[in-house]
Amino acid sequence: MKFPELKIGRLIPRYPIIQGGMSLRVSTAPLAAAVANAGGIGLIGASAMSIGELRNEIRSARSNTRGIIGINVMFAVRQFAAMVHTAIEEKIDLIVTGAGFSRDIFHWGRESDVPIVSIVSSPKLAKIAEKLGAAAIVAEGTEAGGHLGTMRSIDEILPEIVAAVKIPVIAAGGIVDGKGIAKAIRMGASGVQMATRFVLSTECAVADAFKQMYLKATADDIVLITSPVGMPGRALHNAFADKIIKKIAPKPESCDGCLKDCSREYCIFQALENARIGRVDDGVVFTGQNVHKIKDILPVQKIFDNLVKELKQEPDIDER
């Protein structure tokens, strides 16, 4: 079996690997550009950025790569439309969107010839996205980090979603090595989206304390929290996660209504920002379920070299 060719609209990366968009400011320009330079697709996590910041991030990524750069934006954010239009104005290569559904984005994508990729967790939503005009689907299983659309494993939903649509399906959730990529390819995926592996890269912008929590994590350190967005989230166990679970997390001191719908039980963006800057005990540290399998912080190019080497070691997989 050859590495699949991942075709999203007119885009074909050298390797069928997308670095998942990570908010808040976890996947910024340096990480996205490094992934694009290594032959994958790099995504800037746009949710919670200001419009000016997003513009600067896209420009900064562009000035460091000729590879494929996209943004990830959650439908749940109030500035969704403005972010999509800004990314299109900045000539972004693709837009990946999840945490809710918007008809409009497919229309904007068609008008500007920018492929739209929908993150879904069920065949039903995959079919709707295809009908509306998605160029590809990210099928995200419960093993993923961050907000979750399902409690079902990627192994269960991937074959169902592959069977439901004709557009390329990209598998996400718990994939951290070449073996995981090979398994997804065998199940019919045209590519993979990986996020947790790329947090443990030298180019990822989070504080060292965040990365050290990842490195020390065991399989038992993962918790599910409820997010004020109204979805569960997969994160590392810490004092703040305990407070969320006990429903004693601090209420937001101020609120600018950044989410369309928010319970305001606590501020998820403040909690993610605290973690990013290294105040990990006061924040939410999102992570995928297989974080404990990653043992090192490496430059993105080295991560790609290892993934490709591991993939080639699989008896039934050859490079294109």
Site residues for ligand FMN per CB under 6 A = 20-23, 26, 45, 47, 72, 74, 98, 119, 140, 143-146, 172-175, 193-196, 199, 286-288, 290
Q: How far is the CB of 100 from ligand FMN (least distance, A)?
A: 10
Q: Which is nearer to ligand FMN, 73 or 248 (CB)?
A: 73
Least Å distance, CB 103 to ligand FMN, is 18
Tell me the closest approach of the beta carbon of residue 286 to ligand FMN, in angstroms.
Answer: 4
Residue with tokens 């199940």: 187
What minimum distance in Å lies between the beta carbon of 222 and ligand FMN? Answer: 11
Separation between Cα atoms, residue 192 and residue 169, nearest integer Å: 8
CA 192 to centroid of chain Cα atoms = 11
The secondary structure of 211-246 as a DSSP string is HHHHHH--GGGEEEEE-TTSSEEEEE--HHHHHHHT
Question: CB 295 → ligand FMN: shortest distance, Å?
Answer: 15
Give the CB-nearest residue to ligand FMN. 288
- 89 CB neighbour count, 10 Å cutoff: 11
Bond from prior residue into 54 cis (ω within 30 degrees of 0): no
Q: For residues 67 and 283, which CB has a smaller minimum distance to ligand FMN in the complex?
A: 283
Q: With respect to ligand FMN, which residue has the nearer C-beta, 72 or 190?
A: 72
3-class SS letters over 178-193: HHHHHHHHHCCCCEEE
Nearer to ligand FMN by C-beta: 63 or 273?
273
Residues facing residue 169 across a β-bridge: 137
CB of 39 or CB of 63, closer to ligand FMN? 39
Task: Indicate the residue among 20 and 70 with the shorter CB distance to ligand FMN.
Answer: 20
**How many whole angstroms separate alpha carbon 147 and alpha carbon 138?**
14
- Kindly state the tokens that stand for 93: 């290569």
What minimum distance in Å lies between the beta carbon of 291 and ligand FMN? Answer: 7
What is the smallest separation between the CB atom of 149 and ligand FMN, expressed in angstroms?
9
Instruction: State in angstroms the smallest separation of the CB of 89 from ligand FMN.
Output: 21
3-state class (DSSP) for residue 37 = helix
Cβ-Cβ contacts under 8 Å for 211 (sequence gap 6 or more): 199, 200, 204, 297
Residue 254 CB neighbours (<10 A): 6
Residues in the chain: 320
131 touches 261 (CB < 8 A):
no
Nearer residue to ligand FMN within complex by CB, 144 or 308: 144
Nearer to ligand FMN, 67 or 146 (CB): 146
